[in-house]
Amino acid sequence: MADTEFDVIVIGSGPGGYVAAIRAAQLGLKTACVESRDTLGGTCLNVGCIPSKALLHASELYEEAHSGALAKWGVKTSGLELDLDAMHASRLEAIKSLTSGIAFLFKKNKVEWLKGHGRFIDANTIDVGGTAYKAKNVIIATGSSVMPLPGVTIDNEVVLDSTSALELAKVPETMVVVGGGVIGLELGSVWRRLGAKVTVVEFLDQILPGMDGEVRKEAAKILKKQGFEIRTSTKVARIERKGEKAVLAVEPAAGGAAETIEADAVMVCIGRRPNTDGLDLDKAGLATNKRGQIEVDHDFRTGVPHIYAIGDVVPGPMLAHKAEDEGIAAAEIIAGQVGIVNHDVIPSVVYTMPEIAGVGLTEEDAKARGHEVKIGKFPMLANSRAKTNKEPDGFVKVIADAKSDRVLGVWMIASVAGTMIAEAALAMEFGATSEDIAYTCHAHPTHSEAVKEAAMAVQGKPIHI
């Protein structure tokens, strides 16, 4: 096989793409991965999941010390100050470590990195920087990018997107976050902890669309207690920059009188859109749907059988771990194995403090699908580890089918909800009932005991409430 011929070419090196490439190579396929950035890892590692978590963790530590929370533990601080440059340096160190780690894994697994922008010449040929590469199979994993707000110019100084909001050189006194979804709340949390007064403007009547209704209400209550101003059912009519500030015109979503809000920084986080432009999909015989997504079948095949698509460019939640699982499955299918992703059991996490997590159906969705449900709830206030750690906020909610007792969904707010949700996902993957979880021994004292107690509450017999 020539140097420009491959069994598999993966376009994009984000969580879905690089994982797909490595798995394909592990299965003995000659594999290349196309990436135009100077580093591998896509949005997630370079300007998304990883750098945001680095700042979230750093800002949590700062707030613990600055707010006096540490003093309650007998840890007294004096002369405390914020070194934002050091925080940014830590963020950049995390990015460098992980992106270079992927480059090492590519070398280890003999995945060839084709540096440049990839576009189809025809269904079996990809152009990268003027060189044509042939592929028996192609996996499109080009991810997504920030969705613009019509009529608003992102200047990356005062009017920000989620990328430039990671790189502010100083803490703004006031910040408006446009969009009450995951990204806006997480990055808003960073700057609120560091001293900004943060207002969240959300078009819908509640924050965190798609999550369980009780979780959404409780999350809003907790965030307001932390100092967020949350304005729901509110539309942003326009954003204008005036000197070093921004002025927003907002109005009720249902219609009504407009008012203005002035802020030192505005972060626009209204969602993401698939990166399908610039691929010349038509030359491969492909088209996108109305949302710009590539439709695929159960095996991630597009309308052209040897071209696959995964991650943010296909329908479904835009989550890194979903893309990873799809990448592994697609590679295994290409290699003649059975690759499966259970899209009914994809956990989601919001990395605020406390964290918010869920998997499966919300109570509202379960009822809408005709399920008669039983609900079990357990407050973190009654969990011994949460009490000991002074982390009383939140609860665990288990939704089970009333007839079969099979778990349909689990939703929670807790300091370590992102870790706790894995148990619920595993239980659901194996078709567990709430009784199965209730009779599984959980270590004491741990936050995860709240999952056991919520499962017990489905049967009406929790111990500690």
Task: Report the CATH number at residue 453.
Answer: 3.30.390.30
Residues 30 and 46 in one domain: yes
CB 14 within 8 A of CB 94: no
Indicate whether 2 pLDDT > 90.
no
CA distance readout (Å), 28 to 7, 300, 329: 9, 20, 15
Q: Which of 57, 444, 447, 464 is catalytic?
A: 444
CB 6 within 8 A of CB 32: yes
Residue 375: strand pairing partners: 399
Q: 202: annotated binding-site residue?
A: yes
Domain that holds residue 387: 348-458
What pLDDT shows up at residue 414?
98
Q: What tens digit of pLDDT does each residue of 113-161 get?
A: 999 999 999 999 999 999 999 999 999 999 999 999 999 999 999 999 9
Enumerate residues 6+ apart whose C-beta is below 8 A from 306. Answer: 123, 124, 136, 137, 138
The whole-number average pLDDT for the span 31-50 is 97
Residues 126 and 192 in one domain: no
Boundary-marking domain end, from 270, 287, 314: 270
Residues 42 and 128 in one domain: yes
Domain count, the chain: 3
Q: What tens digit of pLDDT does each residue of 250-292 get?
A: 999 999 999 999 999 999 999 999 999 999 999 999 999 999 9
Q: What is the CATH number of the domain that holds 252?
A: 3.50.50.60
In a domain? residue 226: yes
Enumerate residues 6+ apart whose C-beta is below 8 A from 243. Answer: none
Instruction: Look at residues 400, 391, 464 and name the one whose alpha carbon lies nearest to residue 437.
Output: 400
In a domain? residue 464: no
Boundary-marking domain end, from 296, 311, 334: 334
Residues 136 and 187 in one domain: no
Q: 118: annotated binding-site residue?
A: yes
Three-state SS at 449: helix
CB 15 within 8 A of CB 325: no
What secondary structure letter does DSSP report for 301?
B
CB 343 within 8 A of CB 425: no
Q: 81: annotated binding-site residue?
A: no
Residues 249 and 322 in one domain: no
Which value, in Å, is the radius of gyration of the alpha carbons in the chain? 23
Q: What tens digit of pLDDT does each residue of 360-374 get?
A: 999 999 999 999 999
Distance CA 435, CA 140 (A): 42
Residues 83 and 206 in one domain: no
Boundary-marking domain end, from 334, 363, 380: 334
Q: 236: annotated binding-site residue?
A: no
Residues 282 and 136 in one domain: yes
Instruction: Look at residues 13, 309, 276, 273 and name the one whose alpha carbon lies nearest to residue 162.
Output: 273
Indicate whether 433 pLDDT > 90.
yes
Mean pLDDT of the chain: 97
pTM of the entire predicted model: 0.96
In a domain? residue 78: yes
Copy the structure tokens of residue 334. Answer: 């290409």
Active site residue 306: no
Q: What tens digit of pLDDT does each residue of 189-237 get?
A: 999 999 999 999 999 999 999 999 999 999 999 999 999 999 999 999 9
Instruction: Look at residues 287, 283, 239, 233 and name the one whose alpha carbon lies nearest to residue 260.
Output: 239
Q: 180: annotated binding-site residue?
A: yes
Distance CA 162, CA 48 (A): 8
The whole-number average pLDDT for the span 234-242 is 96
In a domain? residue 259: yes
Indicate whether 1 pLDDT > 80.
no
Q: What tens digit of pLDDT does each residue of 373-405 get?
A: 999 999 999 999 999 999 999 999 999 999 999
What pLDDT shows up at residue 214?
98
Three-state SS at 451: helix
Q: 285: annotated binding-site residue?
A: no
CB 413 within 8 A of CB 222: yes
Residues 390 and 302 in one domain: no
Read off the amino acid at residue 132: A
Distance CA 129, CA 115 (A): 8
Q: What tens digit of pLDDT does each residue of 81-119 get?
A: 999 999 999 999 999 999 999 999 999 999 999 999 999
Percentage, residues of the chain above pLDDT 70 = 100
Distance CA 171, CA 161 (A): 16
